Amino acid sequence: MMEEAREGSLSVSAQTIRVTEAVRDGDALTFIVISQKLSGSGEYHVARTHEDFQWLQQCLFSQEVVPGILGVIFPPLPAKPQLNAPAKVLKQLGFLAMGEDWRMYCMALETYLQQVAAHTTLSKNKCLENFLTSSEPPGRQRVRKGIFNRLSQAMEGMRKEGHKDVDDFFQTERDNNLTLTGCSKSATERFIDVVLTEQKLAVACGHFSTALHLCVEQEEDSAVLAFSNGSVPMIKNYRPLHALICVKLSEVIDSIKRNFESVAENNLSTLGLGLDLESRCQEAEKEMLYRRTCKLVELETASRNAERAKPVKKAAMDELKVAAEKEFDHVSGVAKQEIARFHSTHVELLRQALILWCEKQLETARDTSFRYSQHLQAFKGLGE
């Protein structure tokens, strides 16, 4: 506990942490992390790579001194962004690979750092302070394979995921989590499809608009201009009118394009990001529950061993069993708190995303509607 005391609390305010941009450097991305000092004014500006983030995550995982650390739902760190990666790899990143200049990814990292900084236990880790404030990149040499090797987890998971829980609370939570993980994942995927189609539509509209504009040859442009200014009394010549219709329609299609662009953008930056985070958080909870299940299995094995143990080994086995019991209780205790916290934050998170989304879409819809009605008026007055 000495260490914990020494680490103390974070010197920056969690809410102010920003990941402002991703700077491309060769094949790697460097993220600019900005945070405000708690004491006085001033900001920390640090440049971090994804490896630095991974290091931070590892540090958080491996705080063996904290009892029941395995019961913590670690904020999910987005997977490593791949530059020049094939589309298939990018697709795994989902929403995070979308948007311009990795903006979505930056936002996800930002959320991650804020969650870590806001976490009562995790924020006390010295590594976080280091990560946020030190101008030098934190030691990358410490990155090592932890207990959370994804491959082994997947293999063991097959065996242990279905393990019957002793506690009904956890059993229900595990069942719920399983369905929610699946649902949120599929919802995210469906939503990605929607956004992708919207983007495609925007592109198609762009082509259409350009093609329409190209229909009007250069020399006709001036005629159109003259006509729309009313300087040419063009009553019966339909060629310029036709050209004007083309130009105007091109503008209409351009409005449609812009509408799709902003709708897609709204989808991305609000609900898309929210759903992505939701599904990753569910995944994180699942991992925590899995770790607890592993402990449960350990404990059960220990108690079985203790029961069957020959008198000679009985004492040692009992000791092991007690230790396992203690650890399991710690983990379960922390897990219960974490789950309660997780539930409220997850609701709040989706609520925020939904409200923001709705408001933005409403705004876009109103703007677009206004623009359409302007176009409509313009067309009604055309050639009259």
Partner 1 sequence: MDPSLSASDIASSTKPLSEASSPPVMDLLSEPASEASSAPMVDLLMEPASEGSSAPMVDILSEPASEASSAPMLDLFMEPASEASSGPMMNLLMEPASDDLKEPPKPDIDPLADILNDTPLSEVKTPVAAMPQETPSDLFDDEPSELFAEPRQSNTAKQQQTSIFDEPDEDLFSEPLGEASKKPQNDFFKEALAPVAKASNVCGPLSDNYNEHPTDIFTEEAMTTLPSAVSTVSVNSKTNGVHSDEEEPDIFAEATVELSLDSPRNDRKKKEAAKPSASAPAPSVSASASKPQPKTLEELEEEVEDKFELNISITNPEKVGDGMNAYMAYKVSTQTTLPMFRSKTFTVRRRFSDFLGLYEKLSDKHTPNGYIVPPPPEKSIMGMTKVKVGKEDNSSAEFVERRRAALERYLQRVVFHPSLLQDPDVREFLERDDMPRAHNTQALSGAGFLKMINRATDSLSKMTIKMNESDVWFEEKLQEVEAEDQQLRKLHIMVDSLVGHRKELSVNTGGFAKSVAMLGSSEDNTALSRALSQLAEVEDKMEQLHQEQAASDSFCFAELLADYIRLLGSVRASFDQRMKTWQRWQDAQNMLQKKRETEAKLLWANKPDKLQQAKDDITEWEAKVTQYERDFDRVSATVRKEVLRFEKEKACDFKKQIIKYLESLLQSQQQLIKYWEAFLPEAKAIA
Q: Residues in the site for partner 1, rule: CB under 8 A?
A: 176, 179-180, 183-184, 186-187, 189-191, 193-194, 197-198, 200-201, 204-205, 207-208, 211-212, 214-215, 235-239, 241-242, 245, 248-249, 252, 256, 343, 347, 350-351, 354-355, 357-359, 361-362, 365-366, 368-369, 372-373, 375-376, 379-380, 382-383
Least separation in angstroms between CB 267 and partner 1? 10
Least separation in angstroms between CB 372 and partner 1? 4
* Residue 313 to residue 310: CA distance in whole angstroms: 6
Least separation in angstroms between CB 242 and partner 1? 5
Residue 115 in tokens: 């969650």
**DSSP state letters, 206-246:** HHHHHHHHHHS-HHHHHHHHHHHHT-S--SS-HHHHHHHHH
Q: Which of 53, 61, 58 is nearest to 28 (CA)?
A: 53
In the chain, alpha helices (H): 2-7, 50-61, 87-93, 103-118, 126-133, 150-160, 168-215, 218-229, 238-267, 273-308, 311-380
Q: Which is nearer to partner 1, 81 or 272 (CB)?
A: 272
Q: Which of 66, 96, 65, 61 is nearest to 79 (CA)?
A: 96
Q: Which is nearer to partner 1, 69 or 245 (CB)?
A: 245
Q: Which is nearer to partner 1, 129 or 173 (CB)?
A: 173
Least separation in angstroms between CB 291 and partner 1? 22
Least separation in angstroms between CB 369 and partner 1? 4
For residues 128 and 116, the answer to whether their CB atoms sit within 8 Å is yes
Q: Which is nearer to partner 1, 166 or 183 (CB)?
A: 183
Q: Which is nearer to partner 1, 89 or 180 (CB)?
A: 180
3 state SS for 61-98: HCCCCCCCHHHCCCCCCCCCCCCCCCHHHHHHHHHHHC
Q: Which is nearer to partner 1, 236 or 310 (CB)?
A: 236
Least separation in angstroms between CB 371 and partner 1? 9
Q: Which is nearer to partner 1, 209 or 293 (CB)?
A: 209
Least separation in angstroms between CB 361 and partner 1? 5
Cα torsion 100, 101, 103, 109 to 10°: value is 150
